[in-house]
Structure 1
Amino acid sequence: MANITKRKNKDGSTAYLIRVYVDETGTGHQIVKSMTWKPKPGMRPSAEEKELNIQSTLFEEQVKQGLTAFGGSTRFSDYAKEWIENESLAFKTKERYTEMLERINAAIGHIRLDKLQAHHLEAFYKNLAEAGVNHRGSYAVSEKLDALMKKQKLTRAALAMQAGVAAITISSAARGKHISSEKAAAICKALGKPVDAVFTIHMSDTGLSDKTILHHHRLISAILAKAKRERLVPFNVAAEHATAPKAAHKEAKYLDDEQAHTLLTLLLNEPDIRVKAALILLLFSGARRGELCGLSWPDIDFERHLINIERASQYQSGKGVVEKSTKNESSIRSIKIPAFVVELLGAYRAWWNKQKLLYGESWHGEKERLFVQADGKPINPDTINYWMNRFLEQHQLEHITPHGLRHTFATLQIAAGVDIRTLQARTGHAQASTLVNIYSHAIKSAQEAASDALEDILLPPTDKSKGKTS
């Protein structure tokens, strides 16, 4: 409980000394943290008392959280660092925010929280759209990596571990495929070679996309929202005053029914049963890539034709493949799948069991993940992208991502007349409004088809022409 002492200043005004005692070292030795609060001139006694209680409670909470070092004069970069270290964020989200903050702090990190203005942010957003800013748009290509690995007797898995990147990244780079400049630098650091000795870097001359700029704005706004709640600033300049970047709505990329039929026909003839099972299951379940890789055999109900989504897999730099919770609580769900997919999974399980017998004591499939490496270890979710890209290239099909199959699942379900609430339960979206926003075109087409269907049912063919105007 905060200790409050009322004081009279020489000019006759009132001030309050708020003190909080805290054990910062855990040794039992308490130290005092204090602040002074001055009520505004002319405040009514009741309003003054109410605000004093708010200020003392807020200060006590800040002391407990170690935030008393901050005030309105704190630089944005210092407060942002504290925010990202203490905010509850998923691993990948924190990784992405840390990368975004490098750009943000370079532009506005030196500015005090209470001095940050809308024009600072708007100038920053404009700069992000300028040519040459998009470093992630640059890529690296190597014709030497494969030979260099053989010379140093390095396996792809070993180099991936040393570089802190996914094994699939090493595989792609060794085959002369494009990888990011950042990952190329990490690989070369592990090899002890300069980047230009192994890779050719192709620089991007574009700015960031409207959507990415909007993500920067939202991150700044989230940080300032907490500063406002802690009364370090009187308002959130990003949310309340700056003009937010606009990102045009884009329809999700998906396959139409004919394209999906072609893909399925080719997949049914795919010799690699892992690829066949994984991509067909994505198409008929609408599962996210990480959810697919998180499936274990006990999650498959062969009798009731259900798959139960309860977890996800994720690759984390320095840790490898780890298990994580689903994207949200709504993502924990059961999905009905067709009988032929259940039969395919049965055939795939037979292959899986043969692999287990073949490897014997060297088998690492303790978690019984469906999709595994040859020795039973869980696959990196990026492997699904690798399988799909290779399959599409082999058959000269238009490029689409594994997440595009999720969009295809949802779009075809809408076209088939599945209502939004049912689809939400199948896809695991937290809110039905998200589905409406993503699949607005498909919903509109379905509504038009429904209107035509009602006309066909209720209006005889001879009356249709009468109802039309010339």
Structure 2
Amino acid sequence: MKVQKLNSGSYRVQKQVNGKRLSMTFDHKPTKKEVEDELAHRLGYYNGKLTFAACINNYIDARTNILSPATIKGYRAIVKALPDTLLDKPIDDISNNDIQKVINDAAGKVSPKTVKNRYTLISSVFAEFRPDTILRVNLPLMVRKEPYIPTREDIRRLLDEAKGTTMETALLLACCGLRRGEICALTMDDIDFDNHLVYVNKDVVVDDKNELVVKVPKTAQSNRAVPVPDAVLESIRQNGLYNKHPNNINSWMRTREAKLGIPHFSIHKLRHYFVSTAHEKGMSDAAIMEVGGWATPNVMIKHYRHAQNTDAVTAAVLEDIV
């Protein structure tokens, strides 16, 4: 992006759109996002037609107070990744083949999941602004990769590295089924030492301005009371809660894993460990889903979710590593 400083002290950015040059002037040196936002505004109507850029930005802006800040951030990132040939084109002039070309180009650069996410947003915009249009696009094959589930020894070694710090608390809570953002959002008011419970009632996410936002949990089921064993409560008493930036957790883990020579896994994989170990210990799906805050469409599971005492779940999971 070429930014030209004018004699007046203003800054000018010029861009070719459909063979025509658009000139934008700013009273300060603009960032890439500011240029993109101004361009989207300018291109709201091109030759009397609503552009795809205007449509997709309108779609996102209409949901900023409804969707998670992290979701909005992801949508903004998708817009930045889409080619100008799509964004600058009137939505009424976009063909199915135009979308297929965008998908095909992306498939050679990013993962199938990322391609699918981009197409999902594109198709949602079409559903709102061109509801009579039926898109038929071939997506890249999703290759299922079995995630690496950390072993008990992996977790023990990480816990040894974290001993005496708030990171120890974070790792133990993750082994009890808490999500990263839920861990970072906890306050001492959420800890019931007498009844061995941690109340999950909020989440921390990063928004599209890279600022931390405290919001309600991911789903209705995520708002829950998680029974925790003595080892977790003792770490909270001695070390405190982890209230730093969520991204710092995975950075810390990556560094320590490399040092210890164990395969890399994120803190979210400790939720996988929680599930697999709880199953191994004979816990019911209903109990595991209740503690982990997962929603289920299965009416029978929902009906019998209290059939088993959930207090035993996290204690059983942690007994082999602490």
Q: Same fold (TM over 0.5)?
A: yes
Deviation at 1:105, TM superposition (A): 4.8
Deviation at 1:400, TM superposition (A): 0.9
Structure-1 separation of matches of 2:138 and 2:115? 12
Report if the CA contact (8 A) 1:315-1:380 is conserved. no
Report if the CA contact (8 A) 2:70-2:206 is conserved. no
Is residue 2:191 matched to residue 1:300? yes
Is residue 2:179 matched to residue 1:281? no
1:145-160 pair list within 5 angstroms: none
Aligned to 1:95: 73
Counterparts in 2 of 1:262 and 1:108: CA distance versus 1, 3 Å = closer
Is residue 2:260 matched to residue 1:386? no
Report if the CA contact (8 A) 2:107-2:140 is conserved. no
Structure-2 separation of matches of 1:216 and 1:266? 36
Report if the CA contact (8 A) 2:49-2:92 is conserved. yes
1:55-70 pair list within 5 angstroms: none
Deviation at 1:332, TM superposition (A): 0.6
Is residue 2:188 matched to residue 1:212? no
**SS at structure 2 position matched to 1:402:** coil
1:117-136 pair list within 5 angstroms: 117-130=95-108
Is residue 2:260 matched to residue 1:395? yes
Is residue 2:156 matched to residue 1:264? yes
Q: Which has the higher contact order (CA 8 A, sep 6+)?
A: 2
Structure-2 separation of matches of 1:425 and 1:299? 18
Report if the CA contact (8 A) 2:76-2:208 is conserved. no
**SS at structure 2 position matched to 1:287:** coil
Report if the CA contact (8 A) 1:214-1:246 is conserved. no
Report if the CA contact (8 A) 1:291-1:326 is conserved. yes
> What is the aligned residue count?
253
**SS at structure 2 position matched to 1:323:** strand
Report if the CA contact (8 A) 2:182-2:217 is conserved. yes
Aligned to 1:242: 137
**SS at structure 1 position matched to 2:146:** coil
What are the ranges of 5 or more consecutive residues in structure 1 without an aligned counterpart?
1-68, 131-206, 350-369, 372-377, 434-470
Task: Please identify, of 98-107 and 78-87, the stretch whose mean Cα deviation from structure 2 is larger.
Answer: 98-107
Computed over aligned residues only, the root mean square deviation of the Cα atoms, in angstroms, reads: 2.8
What are the ranges of 5 or more consecutive residues in structure 2 without an aligned counterpart?
1-44, 299-322
Report if the CA contact (8 A) 1:295-1:311 is conserved. yes
Deviation at 1:274, TM superposition (A): 1.7
* 1:123-161 Cα deviation digits (max 9, x unpaired): 11111123xxxxxxxxxxxxxxxxxxxxxxxxxxxxxxx
Report if the CA contact (8 A) 1:312-1:324 is conserved. yes
* 1:99-142 Cα deviation digits (max 9, x unpaired): 21133352422333333322211111111123xxxxxxxxxxxx
Is residue 2:203 matched to residue 1:312? yes
Q: 1:115 aligns with which of 93, 102, 109?
A: 93
TM-score normalised to structure 1 length: 0.49
1:75-94 pair list within 5 angstroms: 75-87=51-63, 88-94=66-72
Deviation at 1:320, TM superposition (A): 4.1
Q: 1:410 aligns with which of 261, 270, 275?
A: 275
Structure-1 separation of matches of 2:226 and 2:127? 38
Is residue 2:209 matched to residue 1:325? no
1:415-434 pair list within 5 angstroms: 415-431=280-296
TM-score normalised to structure 2 length: 0.70
Deviation at 1:287, TM superposition (A): 0.8
* 1:30-60 Cα deviation digits (max 9, x unpaired): xxxxxxxxxxxxxxxxxxxxxxxxxxxxxxx
Q: Name the amino acid aligned to 2:96.
A: A
Is residue 2:124 matched to residue 1:222? yes
Deviation at 1:412, TM superposition (A): 1.5
- Which has a greater percent of helix? 1
Structure of greater Rg: 1
Deviation at 1:414, TM superposition (A): 2.3
Report if the CA contact (8 A) 2:69-2:205 is conserved. no
Q: Name the amino acid aligned to 1:234.
A: D
Structure-2 separation of matches of 1:245 and 1:401? 26
